[in-house]
């Protein structure tokens, strides 16, 4: 039943998206930030509905220490396709996600991702990757946060995968603070073979922002490894 209701929500969202696209487009003509804020709120409403019918309860810690007017580079562990839902329901700032290139071809989703200023990464094309980084740096300077999962793929183990150092070029080139986030239990929401949803509590912990200017040269040089160690400590202490 939970899975069926989720399908109903997505179907209704797809239908309602047509007029909502028009609202977002008109807001963008007036002020781009209004368009992003409106789009993010629409997505949050849909994601809340999905988690409600799925029986998912979110518990979030550490978000209060963040400045809502500051642009951050958020980094998080990646255990589930539902990580994006959890992230959007908890980030306190206007935030774009770095996503795999294939999603920009998905109907409905691709338009909302465009309104949300999401970045698409084609791992097979280095030039495209550089273009994405430059675009992301510009967005950070404009005040939009960016969310990325530096493991690069879903992790099916208990240990964090090595972080891609290239993921942190967005922070090093824009000098924005990095916020580590750890999420627990996202991978337990969906039952075997997507057959059902489990009512479960998902824990999200925001770490303190890391300012590159405060780091030792060696840590700054290997920022991916440094942030991975910090997140390992956070995961070890999460309830």
pLDDT band of residue 121 (cuts 50, 70, 90) is confident
Q: Rounded to an integer, what distance in angstroms lies between the CA atom of residue 73 and that of residue 91?
A: 11
Give the domain CATH number at 119: 3.40.1130.10
**CA nearest 61: which of 227, 231, 181?**
181
- In-domain check, residue 31: no
Would the pLDDT of 192 be above 70?
Answer: no
Sign of the dihedral defined by the CA atoms of residues 134, 136, 141, 147, in that order: negative
Sign of the dihedral defined by the CA atoms of residues 234, 222, 134, 68, in that order: positive
pLDDT for the residue numbered 207? 96
Residue 23, helix vs strand vs coil: helix
Would the pLDDT of 130 be above 90?
Answer: no
- In-domain check, residue 171: yes
User: Average pLDDT of 156-174?
Assistant: 90
Would the pLDDT of 128 be above 90?
Answer: no
**CA nearest 209: which of 231, 237, 177?**
177
- In-domain check, residue 221: yes
Domain count, the chain: 1
pLDDT for the residue numbered 1? 67
Would the pLDDT of 156 be above 70?
Answer: yes
- In-domain check, residue 15: no
Would the pLDDT of 186 be above 80?
Answer: yes
Q: How far is CA 45 from the centre of its chain?
A: 16
Higher pLDDT, 118 or 101: 118
- In-domain check, residue 37: no
Q: Rounded to an integer, what distance in angstroms lies between the CA atom of residue 113 and that of residue 169?
A: 22
Q: What is the pLDDT of residues 70-113, one digit of tens each?
A: 999 999 999 988 999 999 999 999 999 998 887 777 888 889 99
Q: What is the pLDDT of residues 56-82, one digit of tens each?
A: 999 999 999 999 999 999 999 999 889
Q: Which domain holds residue 220?
A: 60-191+202-237
Q: What is the pLDDT of residues 195-230, one digit of tens each?
A: 567 789 999 999 999 999 999 999 999 999 999 999
Would the pLDDT of 125 be above 80?
Answer: no
- In-domain check, residue 23: no
Q: What is the DSSP letter of 153?
A: S
Query: Residue 155, class by beta-carbon neighbours within 10 Å (0-12 exposed, 13-18 middle, 19+ buried)?
Result: middle
- In-domain check, residue 121: yes
pTM over 0.85: yes
- In-domain check, residue 36: no
């Amino acid at each position: 039943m939970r899975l069926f209701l989720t399908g109903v929500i997505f179907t209704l969202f797809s239908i309602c998206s047509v007029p909502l696209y028009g609202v977002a487009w008109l807001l963008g003509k007036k002020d781009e930030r209004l368009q992003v804020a409106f789009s993010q709120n629409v997505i949050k409403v849909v994601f809340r509905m999905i988690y409600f019918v799925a029986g998912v309860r979110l518990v979030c810690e550490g978000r209060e220490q963040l400045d809502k007017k500051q642009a951050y580079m958020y980094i998080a562990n990646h255990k589930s396709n539902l990580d994006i839902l959890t992230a959007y329901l908890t980030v306190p700032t206007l935030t774009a996600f770095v996503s795999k290139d294939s999603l920009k071809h998905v109907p409905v989703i691709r338009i909302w991702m465009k309104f949300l200023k999401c970045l698409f990464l084609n791992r097979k094309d280095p030039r495209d990757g550089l273009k994405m980084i430059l675009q992301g740096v510009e967005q950070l300077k404009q005040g939009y946060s960016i969310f990325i999962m530096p493991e690069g793929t879903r992790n099916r183990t208990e240990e964090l995968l090595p972080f891609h150092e290239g993921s942190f070029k967005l922070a090093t080139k824009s000098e924005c603070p990095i916020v580590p986030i750890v999420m627990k239990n996202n991978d337990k929401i969906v039952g075997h073979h997507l057959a059902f949803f489990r009512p479960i509590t998902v824990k999200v912990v925001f770490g303190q922002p890391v300012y590159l200017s405060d780091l030792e040269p060696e840590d700054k040089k290997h920022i991916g490894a440094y942030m991975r160690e910090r997140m390992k400590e956070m995961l070890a202490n999460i309830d």
